[in-house]
Each structure stands twice: as structure tokens, then as C-alpha cells.
Structure 1
């Protein structure tokens, strides 16, 4: 067999820090880390939980653990060591030297997965930007560490060996980052134009979010009839997909599938994918998809809410519906669902199975009901002289009907979404009446 075809032999280490609380069970954390490693082509030879009394500045793990790892790595001919933690550049370098294996921490592994998964030009740009931002800080710190190791003849770091090359590398990375940010800004403007067109058409946006592998893409396919790639893989979907779907009573919405979240999702990745995730920021409803069959689903839900908070999305700004997916995998559905509780404030919870279709009709009815509660219908009188007001109504509301013009003007019946309601009430003050609530 060709050497290139052989998967890399890898060892996985999940540190459990004494006294450091985590809402994730350590066994669940280990299983997830194994899933992350399995998302790229690795041969997992060794996977173990290492209990750490205190984090060592030089190697993160204690000397005894490092020595034992080095022996196993040599004996098993392991090429890659994955550590489920955020390693400093010095810790990474020292572990590589002590074990003889290439070392990646949690952030680097997620970046590798994203690099393999990115399919569109936008996705490739986003992943590269995140990778460069990650590498930029490590380049500086690694250089500082190397210079200390080599010594600088009492002259500090000025004029030290390698400075010219490092400065050149830093400058090239900075220039590339500027270029990528400029290109992604153009993507952002294009997305903003597309969202503006949807707003003018008054088509509400319903965004799917959730922990990676919660079944968002399967649910998206089941609701929309699309064929978005959906597989039992972490981060199967990186690129946002939008489809129009019809609700039971004729209303249409734009359904948006997004990248999955995960515990300790690197900040650089959240920042790089912000253009994509703005579909969530501007959504009329957020569907938080939870894998209710996973024993770790409460902790996963908290991680999703943390990323939403970082994006500025909260129940105060956007109604959140929890979709409890994969009920077909529950041994005792009634008991399991009775014991499940929403994460944070939600307007509804809907148990479903994207695989069997159970609960999808109820979910559509809930979406329709929430949209109806969010929008209000008003009667408004507009004089003939107020042409700008007529334009505003057509651009920012759904015009349901218009009466025959009279000498004083025309009467409109319009539906106004919450995001435009304050401006509507201020602009048409004294000329409106609520039709229904």
C-alpha cells in the first residue's frame, strides 16, 4: 500500500484537571475528542484520560505522564499526539521534543477538521483566516522562546538570530490576513444585500443552530426536501445553506442551516465564520437543535448558548425554539423527555426525529405560531403627499391590502415584524390602529 494511503497513527490524551469544574462529563469529553480525531483520517492507537494535579508551564502534563506517553508512542510507532487542551507554544514544543511525535492541541485539531471540510471558496477563506490568526500568536511566542534558548549575548531580542526571518514571516502573515479580511468583507456585503432582498420580500428567516452532530442538516433536509450533506460526522456542514419552505397555512420562510458548535470552539473560528453566522444574528426565529439521545446534551446546550451569546443572540432579541431531535434513538422516550429541560429561556420545545419524520408537522405549526405572535397587523392612513411613507411600508412591512384612494389619501393594512415595529410606531404615530394581536 502506498504510504500516502495509510492513516496517521495517533494517540489521544484528555487531561482532567483536579479542582477544575466542567459541565462536561470527562468520559463524554473523551468520546467527543475521539469523534473529532475520527473526523479526519487518523488511526487512533491510544486514547486515555490523564488526571492532572496541576498544569505544568513547560509540558502541561506532569513529568511522569510525559515519560509514560513517550514510551507508549515509541513502542506503538505513533506519529501524532493530540491533547484535549489549549497548549501554549512552549508546551507544544516541549511535548514534541519529549515524545518524538507531532503535537496538536484541541484548537489546532478543530482547525485541521475545518480545513478538510471547507468546500466553498468562502469556507476556505474563513478557515485560512482562522488558521493564520492562530499561527500568528504562536509564531511570536515560539520565536521568543527560541531566542531565550539560544541566548542573545546580553542584547535582549534586538538583532538576535532569526529576527529578520521571523519579522518577514510575521509581515507576510499580517498581509495575508488583511487580504483575507478584505475578501470576507466583500462576502459579508453580498450576504447583506441578499438579506436585504429577503427583508423587502418580507420572508422571515428561521436559522438552525446546535452542537455539532445534533442532526441539523438532517432536519434541514427533512423540512426542506434538500440534499445537504448530512452524515454522522462532526462538522459535516461548514457552509450555510438557505432554502425556502412552506408552512401549513401558506406562509413561507427561509430556512438556514449553519456550522455546528462545539465545546471550547476557538474564538478565531467564531470570528472568521461571523459572516456566515450572521444568518443566525438576523434570524426571526432560532431553532436550537439538540441531540436529546446524547447523555451529554445538557452540557452541549450550554455550549451552544455561550456561542450565541458571543454572537449577540439572546432570548431577549430573538425567539428560540428548542428542537429535541433523535427521539427515535431513545429507549424510553416518555421518561427521557419528561426529564429533559430547556437550556435557558425558550418559547417552545418540540420533540422530533429528523430520521423518521416524527414531530416535523408540529414543528412547522410552532414556527408558524411564533411568527404570528411576533408580527402584528395594523391599519394605517397615508396621505397622498407622503410618498416616502408609502415606500417605507412597501420596504419594511408586508402590505396586506390597500383601500380605494380618497381625497385625504389611502388606508393600508400591513403586517409589521418586531425589528421594524419601533420605527413604524414612531413614523406613523397618530395614524395607526391595531387590527389584531
Structure 2
């Protein structure tokens, strides 16, 4: 019997069989149900040697698969010399244990696969803490199954703490150790998150902020590098980015925004990971505008956009959103080809533009459409433009320089230590002036009063409380 000890599961270069059980409410690609699982397994480093699919109205309680399929799976494992079976479903601890006993092979589900990928990709302190917490939360209810193989150990030195052997005593010790470790990790994470919350809130006050969000592998990091000085890790694989990177984005005319790139979304993300990574999405919660990046060349792009919007709804991210139709160069290439064998996109660019009015079509690789995207964000940054007469003190060199360089000045008049500038300016620019300490009159009225009374009044937004602090 193969060793099914789950204490040190590794997927690197291990021969793997992929299994998917299709239920009536399945959201998988109808033409290739295991496509995403295949990409996840390859990202984890597995060597895929076989695949199996079964359609069921409801999963079989003990093994998830039907009895005949379990026997078929056992034969496949032997013939292909597979070392692990990866399910595209979430299995219970009892189902994993039962399958391992019947197939004599390691069994992991979709959640554990994603956890494995996240663990290998986590580089920042925050990401490492979040991943370990998620792993422990996933492992805790499965301790009994993980220890079951030790019940057959006989002879030799005692296993466990002190002289106590495996069994209920060791199980309870492990449970306590897990809970103690979880408590310490959560305390450390709270400290990291508190610092990050302050940083994000300050950045929002000091700058106009934009956040890139989208399905994993939609090209967010490549787009981030194209719009900024770069530095984000870009790779054609799932979850290339786990942390958050923030850089200045030059919007032209002396204007800029702080652009953030963060972890991608995926369907059926393990709930422990969603909970752990919510703080990573603070850049999204506090951003002034969200850029929803869609890989239009992907045949499942519509479902991916639905998943992203669902996640954004769950974290109450209801600010201005711009759909960014990415990889249009690849989309054109695929739609111009013929042949039923191709995994063709379901929509042409024209159909996307009709379905998503106001979307911006871009190619992060060729640069097409990036200027149009910058113009749209700049318009949001400025807000409604108006022609007004600003009055500033001549000694306020910073404020005067800001107006001269960042707005369209029509006329200048210098009187008694003050400068009167007739200019075309937006609300956000006025707020930046005030935030920098300038005392400004707008058409002879204190700027704060003018904004409140008759300058494009903004609806009051409730102060956002990060989900992990609720």
C-alpha cells in the first residue's frame, strides 16, 4: 500500500490524476470542465498523467464518486503509477480518508491544491501569515483523518509527546497545538494589518488611487507594469501575484494616481483563504476607482467577470468601476482564425463593447488603448470641470505652482500679495490644494464653503470599515 501520510504533501513533479464531479449547478467550462483544475495543477508543478469526469445529481456521501468510478480510479492509479489524485471539488475529511483507504493513494481537493500554490508563492510577511492561518484552519477538522494511519503502528519507540503513543491523546495534543499556533499567528497578523490599514487610508487622503482587480491570470500585473515604472511579477500562470504592489501612474499634464495590483480572484476560492486575504483587498476597498481587468481572449471571460463582481459585492466595494477589456490583440487573433478545434472566445470585441458600455479596450502587451484608459481615470480624478477665479496668497508657492502646472490657467492678476487665477479646474484638484495646506477662495468664497454649497456636491459615503476589523 502506498504511503498516504498527509503531513507533508508535495505536488512538485508528482504524477497526478485529475478528477471532476459535475453537479447540476456546476460553473465549469462546458467544453473542457477540467481546464482550470489542469492549469492549477500545472501551476503547482504536478505532472498530469490522467483525467476522469463523472456527472452526478448529488455526490455520493462516503467517496463523492460513484462506486464504479472509485474502482476505475483505483485501476488508473495502478496503471499510470500516479502518486496523487486531485479533485476539482471540495471534499470532507471523511471522504478524503475513505478514498485514500480504497485507492491506496493520496487524495487532495481543490481547496488544498490552491493552498499549496499560495504557500509556495507567499513572499511578504502578511501573505505568509495569511496562508499559514488558512492552512491551519483547513487542517484542524482533518486531524483525525491525518492521524488514522498511525493506529496501525505496532512495536518500536512510542510516537507522540512524552511516552504517549498515537491515538486520541495525541489528537487532542495536536488540536491544542493548532489552536495555540492559530492564536499567535492571528495576533501577529492583526499588528501587520493595523499598520497596513493606516498606510492605505493615508495614501487615499494624499493621492487619487486606482485599483486593478480581476480574475487570476487576466493580465493585471502586465498591465500594471505597462502603466507604471513596473516591478510587479508578471507571468502567464495562475496566482503570479499574491501581495499588493503600489506605484505612481502618470496620467499626463502633471497629474498622477497611485495604482495598486493585488491578488487575482478565482471561482470557488476556499473560504479560509477569502477570510485570510480580505485585508489584502483593502487597496480595493479604499481605492477611488476600480479597474476590472478582463482577459477577453479567454473563452470563460464572461464567467470570470461575474466572479470578480460577486467578490467585489461581498466586500462592499461599490465605488466607480471601469471595465478594462485586456488582451484585445490576442482576441482579434483568435476570432480571425477558423476551426472548431480551437478554444475560441465566445465574444468578439464589438460584442464586448455592446455588452459592457463604457468599457476601455486595451492591450497591455502592445500598448493599444492605454492612453484612453489614462484619460478616463484623469477625468474621474478631476471631477466635473468648472471655470472659476481662485485666490491664493503669493507666498503660497506650492499652491500657485500646483494650479499653474496642473490646471488650464486662462488669466492671472496680482493684487496686494495675492494672485487671482482664472482657471479650469476640477473638484478633486481643489481638494488636493486644500489637503496641501493652501488657503483658497473660489469666486471670493472660502473653498470649503464653495465646495459644500454649489460645487458638484458629492453624496456622503459611509466610512468603510475593513472586513477583518468588523
Report TM bin, short chain.
0.7 to 0.9
- Does the C-alpha gap of structure 1 residues 431 and 49 become closer, same or farther in structure 2, counting only changes over 3 Å? closer
Partners of 1:379 and 1:413 within 8 A in 2: no
Change (3 A) 1:181 1:199: same
Q: Does 1:351 align with 2:361?
A: yes
- The answer for the alignment partner of 2:352 in structure 1 is 340
Q: 2:177 matched to 1:172?
A: yes
Match of 1:230 in 2: 234
Contact 1:379–1:435, Cα closer than 8 Å, also in 2: no
Q: Give secondary structure in 1 for the equivalent of 2:447.
A: strand
Match of residue 399 from structure 1: 433
Residue pair 1:211, 1:304 contacting (<8 A) in 2 also? yes
- 8 Å contact from structure 2 (residues 29, 35) kept in 1: no
**Offset at residue 249 of structure 1 (A):** 3.0
Q: CA RMSD in A?
A: 3.4
1:158 corresponds to which residue? none
**Secondary structure class of the residue paired with 1:302:** helix
Report if the CA contact (8 A) 2:28-2:34 is conserved. no
Q: Provide Cα deviations, 1:280-314, integer angstroms capped at 9, x if missing partner.
A: 1111111110010111011111111121122221x
Partners of 2:297 and 2:327 within 8 A in 1? yes
Map 1:154-303; keep pairs closer than 5 Å: 162-201=167-206, 203-303=207-307
Partner in structure 1 of residue 329 of structure 2 = 328
Q: Is the 8 A contact 1:187 1:275 kept in 2?
A: no
Equivalent position SS for 1:85: coil
Task: State the distance in 2 between where 1:34 and 1:7 align.
Answer: 14
> Is the Cα contact below 8 Å between 2:130 and 2:277 reproduced in 1?
yes
How many residue pairs get matched? 384
User: Quick check: 1:131 aligned with 2:135?
Assistant: yes
Task: Give TM-score scaled by structure 1 length.
Answer: 0.79
Please say which of residues 105-114 and 299-308 is displaced more in the overlay. 299-308
Q: Which residue of 1 aligns with 2:75?
A: 71
Matches of residues 409-428 of structure 1 in structure 2 within 5 Å?
411-413=445-447
Is the contact between residue 319 and residue 347 of structure 1 (CA under 8 Å) also seen in structure 2? Answer: no
1:372 to partner: Cα distance? 3.0
Partner of 2:319: 318
Pick from 12, 17, 32 the counterpart of residue 11 of structure 1. 17
Q: CA deviation at 1:192?
A: 1.8
After TM superposition, give the deviation of residue 128 of structure 1 in Å. Answer: 0.4
Change (3 A) 1:272 1:6: closer
User: Residues 49 and 5 (structure 1 numbering): CA distance in 2 closer, same or farther, change over 3 Å?
Assistant: closer
Which residue of the other structure, out of 114, 117, 123, is the alignment partner of 1:110?
A: 114
Cα drift, residue 177 of structure 1: 1.1
SS at match of 2:455: strand
Q: How far, CA to CA, are the matches of 1:213 and 1:80 in structure 2?
A: 25
After superposition, the Cα gap between the structure-2 partners of 1:37 and 1:27, relative to the gap in structure 1 and judged at 3 Å, is farther
Contact 1:377-1:434 at 8 Å conserved across structures: no
Is the contact between residue 28 and residue 296 of structure 1 (CA under 8 Å) also seen in structure 2?
A: no
Deviation at 1:49, TM superposition (A): 2.3
For the 8 Å contact 2:14–2:83, the answer to whether it is kept is yes
Q: SS at 2:348's partner residue? A: helix
- How much does 1:216 deviate? 0.4
Q: What TM-score do you get using the length of structure 2 for normalisation?
A: 0.74
Provide closer, same or farther for how the CA distance between residues 376 and 36 of structure 1 changes in structure 2, counting only shifts above 3 A. Answer: farther
The structural deviation recorded for 1:374 is 7.7
1:306-335 CA-to-partner distances (Å, cap 9, x unmatched) read: 21122221xxx3111111111011234897
Is residue 342–residue 349 contact of structure 1 (8 Å, CA) maintained in 2? Answer: no
Cα drift, residue 163 of structure 1: 2.8
CA contact (8 A) 1:325 1:354 kept: yes
> 2:46 matched to 1:42?
yes
1:73-112 to 2 correspondences below 5 Å? 73-112=77-116
Distance 1:293 1:283, change over 3 A: same
SS class of match (1:288): strand
Q: Which runs of 5+ in 2 are unaligned?
A: 1-9, 152-165, 337-344, 392-429, 459-470
User: Which residue does the alignment assign to 1:309?
Assistant: 313
1:284–1:318 Cα contact (<8 Å) kept: yes
